[in-house]
Chains A and B, each alone.
Chain A
């Protein structure tokens, strides 16, 4: 649904996006993560045909960037970093304006559908400027969806929302995934990205890492089983040098065992520990967060440059 090859954009001497190769599949929720100033917004602008690349090519929704820009803009929805609502227009009028610009067949019906979906129908006659930040964000999301786009670019969709409203947005993203809509999600909420995204890209002017959150974490840290023992005995580490065990460490009295395939190897590991007379209290998998990975990879990227 989105494919780019060598996409590059400069602003004077500043390279905002460098040689970006990306493929995002139809129906995929794709997280685009990076620090402020990394070029995420520029990437969204490039992919939504708002600005032209200096080099490289790309297609969005099967349409070629640069040649079919207008058609691309018809097929994509963009939620910008700030809601950007017409504050002197009513909520309903503002949405109707965009529905008409997108040539939605029955604009009033679609506007009503999205206002009801976001629980804003009763506020349709209120001026957009009178709404709370969270409500404004919901209106902005409704605006990005009102023409039923094939690709949705969301720049920090839950940034100013209360937990309840943020959940509405996350649920909506899940719903859109089931409807085969492709979602390109820029967020600083890494927990959200971890939960929602099929794959994530870590980006800082250039692509640093790409894969599913699980793949990336496993690739970086491997899989580790934590064994809690009632009475940690010395020498257990050496006794656990089994062929499938990559590494054993003792941290705070617990054993950290690196394994390639914990689902198959954990039972053997536990059996061995029991044979060695260890009193096993709990066994669980050590889970790294996307935040750990994000910070590690960014640090590595900064050190490399």
Chain B
């Protein structure tokens, strides 16, 4: 655990000096909060009955996209950055285990994604209350809260797993970033389902999506861990 925390603090220190990562980690959540608040505010002033709740729920979907997008840049840099700087071999020459390194690298991206998503969600609720004076009745239901709080870590984990898999094969950060963007797809599925109004967001639906994400993450992480072996990293990561 101690070595994992050493990795975490080093990665965050490095990331804070990288403008691209800072932009992704701070500006993007603020942008999403701004867009969500604007949507909710619009619902208050115009539209047919029920539009306020519908727009509020659509705004909530932004907070299911954030946990997928936020970790992308951090995770890509965490792997490709090591390759580009030639720092992998000195790192692997230390007594850190493959497992500690993998967990460290994964948590580096998952933790900020979860914290920033929940933080942004809180900020969104706060600003919405400040502007509207209330949360629209029946808008913030238990299934939505379960989705935002329960699915966020799973979405981040899936995103990071995909990114680690892709980054280990990619030769440069741009290619890794582009391919890793595919990790956004699972977050778009519920978004599409909810927006077509084919079904309502229920605890059952959230649970199903949670299970799918859990299985998907397990599969992706399984392959990512298989590739995250010292020897593979040294001899195959180019």
Give the shortest distance, in Å, between B101 (CB) and chain A (any CB): 10
Give the shortest distance, in Å, between B63 (CB) and chain A (any CB): 30
Contact at B6–A70, with CB atoms within 8 Å?
A: no
Name B95's contact: one of A51, A52, A70 (CB within 8 Å): A70
Q: A84-B87, A84-B90 are in contact. Are A51 and B96 (CB under 8 A)?
A: no
Contact at B17–A73, with CB atoms within 8 Å?
A: no
Contact at A70–B97, with CB atoms within 8 Å?
A: yes
Proximity bits, B8-26, A CB within 8 Å = 1, else 0: 0010011001100000000
A13 to B182, CA, bound (A): 36
Q: A51-B235, A87-B85, A88-B14 are in contact. Are A98 and B90 (CB under 8 A)?
A: yes
Determine chain A's interface SS by DSSP, over half rule.
mixed
In the complex, the chain B residue whose C-beta lies closest to that of A102 is B94
A163 to B87, CA, bound (A): 26
Contact at A82–B18, with CB atoms within 8 Å?
A: no
Cβ–Cβ < 8 Å partners of B95 in chain A = 70-71, 73-74, 101-103
Cβ–Cβ < 8 Å partners of A73 in chain B = 93-95
Contact at B14–A86, with CB atoms within 8 Å?
A: yes
Contact at A101–B86, with CB atoms within 8 Å?
A: no
Name A52's contact: one of B10, B85, B231 (CB within 8 Å): B231
**In which size bucket is the chain A interface?**
20 to 34
In the complex, the chain B residue whose C-beta lies closest to that of A82 is B86
Contact at B85–A84, with CB atoms within 8 Å?
A: yes
Give the shortest distance, in Å, between B165 (CB) and chain A (any CB): 22
Within 88-106 of B, Cβ neighbours of A (below 8 Å) are at: 88-97
Cβ–Cβ < 8 Å partners of B132 in chain A = none
Give the shortest distance, in Å, between B15 (CB) and chain A (any CB): 8
Contact at B230–A143, with CB atoms within 8 Å?
A: no
- Excluding A86-B10, A87-B85, 7 further A-B contacts by CB distance (< 8 Å) are A48-B93, A51-B231, A70-B97, A73-B95, A80-B86, A85-B87, A144-B90
A interface list, Cβ under 8 A from B: 11, 45, 48, 50-52, 70-71, 73-74, 76-78, 80, 82-89, 93, 97-98, 100-103, 127, 140, 143-144
Instruction: List, sorted by A's number, 19 A–B pairs whose CB atoms are closer than 8 Å.
Output: A48-B93, A50-B93, A52-B231, A70-B97, A73-B93, A74-B95, A78-B89, A78-B90, A80-B86, A82-B86, A84-B89, A88-B14, A88-B18, A89-B13, A101-B94, A101-B96, A103-B2, A103-B95, A127-B17
